[in-house]
Amino acid sequence: MIDGFTIVLVAVATLVGLLCVVLGLVGRKPADVTILAVVLVEALVVAQVVIALVAPAVGNQPTGSLGLFWIYLGAAAVIPPAAIIWALADRSRWSTVVLGVGALAIAVMVFRMSEIWNVPLA
Amino acid sequence: MSSRGSSGPGRVLVAVYAVLAIGASGRSVFQIVDRFREAPVAFTLSALAAVIYIVATLALALSMRRNGMNQQSWDRVAWVTIGFELVGVLVVGTLSVVSPGVLGLQSVDPFGRQATVWSLYGAGYLGIPLVLPILGLFWLDRRRRESAA
């Protein structure tokens, strides 16, 4: 993983998550802003997939378990699309909250992924 | 707040349950494949928790569908699975602190390599495993009283 990129991804997912949760709670239905924000999160997760595929080949090796890392990344990659499909199918304010929950889950999972990739060696 | 009854916030509950089901399943499958012999009791409980979360997610979603089939049965399944979760997180959480040895654990660390979803009351999952069943039971109860009224 690339630390700078991880920080950007966690920060963006957190902001998008909070934005969607707040907008949903004040009664906004899913709109371009919220859906595109979650599309942005997904784009960053896909970029993380590419980084994780390339990194070991260019000498950026994980010190933790690569298998566990990929379980997290695989799950993270399907959550934003699932949330977006949900928002398109059910156009209520609660779907905006669901978009936010999905984005916040990405933030937590990517943070955990960085811990799994960078296990401090004793 | 919405005046359209409680099915709205319930949908958010389903989403959070779905995320937790994914997280718990992924972790327990990995632990069982990679290191089952290290702590068989704890990892079996992890897998059980994952199955319960999956069933609870489905039961909540299906009991919410308007004119859905077997709505009442799914409502009952939701009560049972969510109730079981609350008992599970309290019992396993307490055991993991008081006597981790019973679970075959060497440490209490909720982020450690032997951690289960319910270790230290779900602290490894931001405490969500403890909060979620309480919210879930509240919501089921509210829905029951609304439909009775």
- Say whether residue B51 is in contact with chain A using an 8 A CB cutoff: no
For residue B30, the chain A residues in CB contact (below 8 A) are 65, 67-68, 71
**Residue B124 or residue B112, greater confidence:** B124
Block residue for tokens 């609350």: B86
Residue of B nearest to A74 (CA): B26
Residues 7-26 of A with CB under 8 A from B: none
Cβ distance B26 to A92 less than 8 Å, yes or no, reads no
Q: What angle do CA A21, A23, A27 make, to 5 degrees?
A: 110
Q: What pLDDT score was predicted for residue A94?
A: 93
Assess contact for A55 and A3: CB atoms under 8 A.
Answer: no
Kindly indicate the confidence band of residue A122, based on its pLDDT and cuts at 50, 70 and 90.
low
Contact A75 B26 (CB under 8 A): yes
Cβ A107 vs Cβ A99: under 8 Å = no
pLDDT band of residue B108 (cuts 50, 70, 90) is low
* Contact criterion met (CB below 8 Å) for B121 and B130: yes
Neighboring chain B residues of A83 at a CB cutoff of 8 Å: 15
Q: Which residues of B touch A68 (CB under 8 A)?
A: 27, 30, 34
Count of other CB atoms within 10 angstroms of residue B147: 10
Backbone angles phi, psi at B2, to 5 degrees: -65, 145
Highest mean pLDDT range out of A18-22, B5-9, B118-122? Answer: A18-22
Query: Of all residues in chain B, what percent carry a pLDDT higher than 70?
Result: 89
| Pairwise pLDDT comparison (B29 vs A36), residue with the higher score | A36
Task: Out of B2, B8, B19, name the one closest to residue A101 (CB).
Answer: B19
Distance CA A74, CA A62 (A): 17
Q: How confident is the model at residue B75 (pLDDT cuts 50, 70, 90)?
A: very high
Task: Using a CB–CB cutoff of 8 Å, tell me whether A101 touches chain B.
Answer: yes
Q: Do A72 and B22 touch (CB under 8 A)?
A: no
In angstroms, the CA B116 to CA A46 distance is 28
Chain A: nearest CA to B3, how far in angstroms?
12
Greater confidence (B56 vs B2) lies with B56
**Inter-chain touch A90–B11, beta carbons under 8 Å:** yes
ipTM: 0.82
Mutation to test the A interface, candidates B12, B13, B14, B33, most A Cβ within 10 Å = B12
Across A89-105, average pLDDT: 94
Residue B52 pLDDT greater than 90, yes or no: yes
**Which segment, A41-50, B60-69, B137-146, is predicted with the most confidence on average?**
A41-50
